[in-house]
Structure 1
Amino acid sequence: MANTLFYLSLSVIWIMLLYHMFLMQGGYFHYLRYRRPIPEWEKNQQPLPKVSVLIPAHNEEVVIERTIKAMLRLDYPKDKLEIVVINDNSRDRTGEIADEYASKYPYVKVVHTKPPHAGKGKSGALNQGLAHSSGEVIVVYDADNTPERKAVYYLVLALLNDPKAGAVVGKFRVVNAATNLLTRFINIETICFQWMAQAGRFFWFRVTTIPGTNFAIRRSLVEELGGWDEKALAEDTELTIRVYNEGYYIRFFPAAITWEQEPESWKVWWKQRTRWARGNQYVVLKFMWRIFSLRKKSIMFDLIYFFFTYFLFFMGVIVSDVLFVTNMFVDLHLQVGIVAMILWILAYFLYVTEVMIALSIERTELNIKNFLIVLLMYFTYSQLWIVLVVYALYLEFKRVVFRQELKWYKTERFAADKKAAPPAERQV
């Protein structure tokens, strides 16, 4: 029995690794092709629509001014641009800072939410911002984001020229990647996510997940869907499923780039990633039971991917690790022969290969330092994710059984370092 479980769990791990290599191939192909339609799109010269940029902000005084300044630098007609900062029941100077800019720039608007419809999470803030906006296209940025000048233009350009796309997703990079080892881990993680999960799935299946930031969506579609789900911790993933179910797809267009701040301490990382894991588990459980009734069948790949990631894959890793360690102290008659060892070693090298291919797409990231970090990452950062997912499952189980109210955790921000400014900002 122990041998069967061990090799079954090892098989699950290998399936996931091979699937990610398949995605990585698609991601690389997408990287080679995604810019090709831009010249033709620009020749079409379609009139640009009015855009409302929604920025939910709860206690964001550390970063909000830098973000608003980035919005002011956007290369988009100002008479067709509306910047909506949602000051969501902040207890610091977030609202004051936003109001100062709103008094100077007519296209900057501040929405001050108040109890009882305030401070309940990002979804609620976005719904409030939507109600006070007027753009035909809705663009969302987190309060710690500094998009490059043409980011919104590229998002809108792709949306205008792709009528089948309900939303367009851009690429995000880590602005504070060089701060410490944790931020270097996260930087590598986000690059892999862009070119594997986002670009790879879009190339092969036309499936992309809406992230929490740097995306554009048709206002008519958001209103048709009834806005954001205020019960979802991962409101972006939940919205993704509903967009596909309406018959649209989501385009991944990495020409639109934003730079965002990532956690610089393990405590902040743990809380943020736990919210992400719980949010994705919520989405899987919400839609998995009616997977075959979804209108857009391609979204089945997304649901199966999340189910595999947050349930089967991590369970496979846990079972194999527990059996291997237990067998060292209690004889389970586990036959971990040379074949199993070879498979484990090959899995490790396949993991490193996948990550290095992803890093090679970003020209500044393929270097010796990152290679050494990737070698370490497998045994540290990646393994910590296993513990985190188990903890998130435990919290979700408690919430369902005891009918607990969901509590939103807002990621703690850190004072901006001038050395960590985005490339475009350094040139200003």
Structure 2
Amino acid sequence: MAIVIVCVKCFGRKRYTKYQLDAIKEDMERNKNYPMVLVQIPMFNEKEVYKLSIGAVCGLSWPSDRLIVQVLDDSTNEVLRAMVELECRKWMEKGVNVKYETRNNRNGYKAGALKDGLKKYYVVDCEFVTIFDADFQPEPDFLWRTIPYMLENPELALVQARWKFVNADECLMTRLQEMSLDYHFSVEQEVGSSTCSFFGFNGTAGVWRIRALNDAGGWKDRTTVEDMDLAVRASLRGWKFLFVGDLWVSVENYYFNLV
């Protein structure tokens, strides 16, 4: 890993830089050939961040008729559920295609919610699915900086972005966590991607090709690491992954989610 990352840093030749994103984007805009994209936001009692995440996803700069925002709310607090639904309706009134989905159980937890979300009738026309946990806030151009990779290479199952903690300097704990995650992305993910080898899905801030996801058997609730489980199965089926190291998605440090 050390040898690979030194070569990547010295020569500046990262795998994702070989793609001509601007040309692909121009071709899509010229031919009006935009794929249908589903964005899933799984959440559970996310009182502090639900407005930020829903607002950020609804602000994605993708043709509105080719985008579906699916809020998968497993909250047990009925008052909070009503608040989240109200927020979704607010964006619906602005013309965003938002689907508010709830369940009467929490079977499979996050994996179960994502799996159930993909079974909805309106997902049948979607080619790609993007996942953002409720504390993630993507920039408006996120889809423009990920979907073109998929269109250029039909063997790609996953495009993974990296995370950027918005509160990394809050205390020593958050700073140490940021250092750990930076190593994970800058070394482990970068090396795996650069050598066309396996690397794990981080569970959020990534885009999946739905055909590849289904080919791998879909989401399984047999494990608490459903993201890695899916990535392993997709890799064994021959699908490829791509890590885009210059694409950051803002997130609140997990330290505060645990205290």
TM-score by length of 1: 0.54
CA-CA distance at 1:27 after TM superposition: 4.9
Is contact 1:89–1:114 with CA below 8 Å preserved after alignment? no
SS of match in other structure, 1:52 = strand
Is contact 1:23–1:201 with CA below 8 Å preserved after alignment? no
SS of match in other structure, 1:262 = coil
SS of match in other structure, 2:17 = coil
Larger radius of gyration: 1
- Paired with 1:187 and 1:32, the residues of 2 have a C-alpha distance of 25
Flag the 1:23–1:93 CA change in 2: closer, same or farther, 3 A.
farther
Question: Is it true that 1:28 corresponds to 2:16 in the alignment?
Answer: no
* Aligned positions of 1:351-366 closer than 5 A: none
- Larger fraction in strand: 2
Is contact 1:170–1:257 with CA below 8 Å preserved after alignment? yes
2:175 match = 184
2:255 to 264, 268, 273: 264
1:108 match = 98
Match for 1:114: what amino acid? N
1:69 to 26, 38, 55: 55
CA-CA distance at 1:214 after TM superposition: 0.9
SS of match in other structure, 1:101 = helix
Higher relative contact order (CA 8 A, sep 6+): 2
Flag the 1:140–1:94 CA change in 2: closer, same or farther, 3 A.
farther
Is contact 1:58–1:94 with CA below 8 Å preserved after alignment? no
- Paired with 2:246 and 2:25, the residues of 1 have a C-alpha distance of 14
Is contact 2:186–2:245 with CA below 8 Å preserved after alignment? no
SS of match in other structure, 1:35 = helix
Question: Is it true that 1:128 corresponds to 2:133 in the alignment?
Answer: no
CA-CA distance at 1:167 after TM superposition: 1.4
Flag the 1:54–1:191 CA change in 2: closer, same or farther, 3 A.
same
Q: Which moved more, 1:79-88 or 1:221-230?
A: 221-230
Is contact 1:26–1:201 with CA below 8 Å preserved after alignment? no
CA-CA distance at 1:109 after TM superposition: 0.9
- Larger fraction in helix: 1
Is contact 1:61–1:93 with CA below 8 Å preserved after alignment? no
- Paired with 1:236 and 1:137, the residues of 2 have a C-alpha distance of 16
**Percent of pairs with identical residues:** 22
CA-CA distance at 1:185 after TM superposition: 0.8
Is contact 1:86–1:128 with CA below 8 Å preserved after alignment? no
2:66 to 48, 57, 80: 80
Flag the 1:63–1:26 CA change in 2: closer, same or farther, 3 A.
farther
- Paired with 2:167 and 2:56, the residues of 1 have a C-alpha distance of 16
SS of match in other structure, 2:146 = helix
Question: Is it true that 1:206 corresponds to 2:197 in the alignment?
Answer: yes
* Aligned positions of 1:24-423 closer than 5 A: 24-25=5-6, 27-28=8-9, 32-33=13-14, 34-37=16-19, 38-45=21-28, 47-91=33-77, 93-104=79-90, 105=92, 106-115=96-105, 118=106, 120-132=108-120, 133-134=122-123, 135-264=126-255, 411-412=257-258
Flag the 1:142–1:112 CA change in 2: closer, same or farther, 3 A.
same
Flag the 1:141–1:185 CA change in 2: closer, same or farther, 3 A.
same
Is contact 2:135–2:251 with CA below 8 Å preserved after alignment? yes
- Paired with 1:124 and 1:251, the residues of 2 have a C-alpha distance of 25
Match for 2:9: what amino acid? Y
Residue segments in structure 2 that go unaligned for 5+ positions in a row: none
Q: Deviations over 1:211-266 (max 9, x none)?
A: 1111111112222333211011111111111111111111112343211112335x
Match for 1:250: what amino acid? F
Q: Deviations over 1:271-317 (max 9, x none)?
A: xxxxxxxxxxxxxxxxxxxxxxxxxxxxxxxxxxxxxxxxxxxxxxx
- Paired with 1:162 and 1:124, the residues of 2 have a C-alpha distance of 29
Residue segments in structure 1 that go unaligned for 5+ positions in a row: 1-18, 266-410, 414-428
SS of match in other structure, 1:170 = strand
When the two chains are superposed, the root-mean-square deviation of aligned CA atoms in Å is: 2.2
SS of match in other structure, 2:233 = helix
- Paired with 1:119 and 1:59, the residues of 2 have a C-alpha distance of 16
